[in-house]
Structure 1
Amino acid sequence: MPTASTTSATSALAPIPSLPSPEWSTVSRIAIQECHERLLPMSLAPSPIMVFPAYQRLGIPGAIPECFVREGVYLALLAAARSLPEGINLLVLDGWRPWRVQQYLFDTLHEAIKHRHPNATEDELLNRTREFVSLPSRDPCAPSPHLTGGAVDVTLCNADGIPLDMGTLFDEAIPASHTDHFEQLIELTPVQQHARDNRRLLYHAMHQQGFTNLPSEWWHFDFGDQLWAHYGEHSTACYGPAELDTIENRWRRQIG
């Protein structure tokens, strides 16, 4: 897996590059060579990582009270967190996501957009929904990123756990949530400039450890999955669909 050195103060404030939205048909054709890394709970991680399982706290049906990620993602997140300036922590909001949660998020956003734009075609609704929530898929050749344990949603917080201002809230489905939004503005207020700098710090800390970013979501980063292969220009992905190592799953494997 790719690694990199600690983020320098200069590169941490460099502009965030503008990237196109993914062509999902292209992403889904990227081959997966599963490496069989286990899922680890981020609550095991020491400071400067904090964990807040946002969907479980919001009462989303099927959401779990933990943020699981693949072992390679776990180590890369630790490295990214340790590269941050003193007093700033990495706050993990979501990682591996049960399919039921992915379906709920997709359906909920789709219906909200349809309610706001009743004359939109189904293709238009699908495209606008996929801007912020990927299509629910357990297909071993084209899984939803969060179902692999390679996608993670993160933000920055201070030493007391208070999230820093990133310009929008986590999961706000609006244009301002696009990672490069503040890079496109000619004039910024002091508040916008502060949010832009926070986004830059997060983006570069993650990028230096091998993560790629989904351009429409400043909080979403990928490592090892098909989106990571797409934006990182890797020939293959190494994470396919993953399941938690529950007692039930263990028994199913063990009993002949």
Structure 2
Amino acid sequence: MPPSDPAETPVPHLDEPCWERLGRLPVVPDDEPLVPMSLAPEPVRVFPAYARLGIPGAVPECFVRESVHRRLLSVARGLPPGLGLVVLDGWRPWRVQQYLFDTLFEVMRARHPTCDEETLLACTREFVAMPSRDPLAPSPHLTGGAVDVTLCDADGLMLDMGSQFDEASAASHSDHLERLDAPDARQRRARGYRRVLYHAMRGAGFSNLPSEWWHYDFGNQLWAHYGGHPQAHYGPAQLDTIEERWKRQLGDG
């Protein structure tokens, strides 16, 4: 393979974010709308993972900001032949964020009964951001700028990326497979897929959360942090409702 082949270019190591410092990055809100990814043409596929799992409050669609939608299309169209992009989650209601955080926290507490509250919170935040509707420090998925993605083959079957989506283990760290001394054939193959996904997403302007190979950001505070941008563009977002539309149409909104 040529040196420029993304499957041969390692995923770099990045430090975990300091969430307190992250929340101090300014947010200059953009009114860009949320749009459904299900309207995107192939090779994008949409599989709203949390709705399929029956998580309370999850919506059966993957909504993202308009710029995120266009960038994901660009990523999908630029993938090597035979590969497609699967969108697993985008905008996430606050209720779902709270459910995920509380559920993982309780699992962590059951597994590590001697750990104090601060340690358990840190372990939980490694994989699920603290639920927040604060316009100055919203949860990444609440902004519509965070998206969870993976790769699939030409038949739409999701590829083995070395860990499951939302697996709360070190194997989910983006560079985990880069740090193995003697990866086996399966791990080498998964490492190549992670590299392809990482470099395709980075090339479209996204940043990656180091603890999750599937999580990418554009326009929010995580993106500003890892991209060295002075400010974020996306604050908390809400889906448009028929009630809000009627209010606007009647001049009450």
TM-score (norm 1): 0.95
The equivalent of 1:198 in structure 2 is 193
The equivalent of 1:140 in structure 2 is 135
Find the partner of 1:170 among 165, 173, 176: 165
Q: Distance in 2 between matches of 1:181 and 1:12?
A: 15
Q: Which runs of 4+ in 1 moved over 6 A?
A: none
List gaps (5 residues or longer) in structure 1: 1-7
1:111 aligns with 2:98: no
The equivalent of 2:64 in structure 1 is 69
Q: Distance in 1 between matches of 2:243 and 2:120?
A: 38
Moved more, 201-210 or 9-18: 9-18
Q: Distance in 2 between matches of 1:76 and 1:169?
A: 24
Q: CA deviation at 1:12?
A: 4.4
Q: For 1:47-62, what aligned pairs fall within 5 Å after superposition?
A: 47-62=42-57
Q: Distance in 2 between matches of 1:201 and 1:108?
A: 32
The equivalent of 2:82 in structure 1 is 87
The equivalent of 1:99 in structure 2 is 94
Find the partner of 1:22 among 1, 7, 17: 17
Q: Distance in 2 between matches of 1:70 and 1:114?
A: 35
TM-score (norm 2): 0.96
Q: CA deviation at 1:149?
A: 0.1
Q: Distance in 1 between matches of 2:244 and 2:136?
A: 21
Q: Secondary structure at the match of 2:210?
A: coil
Q: CA deviation at 1:252?
A: 4.4
Q: CA deviation at 1:139?
A: 0.2
Q: Distance in 2 between matches of 1:248 and 1:183?
A: 50
Q: Distance in 1 between matches of 2:4 and 2:44?
A: 20
Query: Quick one: which amino acid aligns to residue 203 of structure 1?
Result: Y
Q: CA deviation at 1:86?
A: 1.3
Find the partner of 1:153 among 148, 152, 163: 148
Q: CA deviation at 1:186?
A: 1.3
Q: CA deviation at 1:165?
A: 0.7
The equivalent of 2:218 in structure 1 is 223
Q: Distance in 2 between matches of 1:83 and 1:230?
A: 26
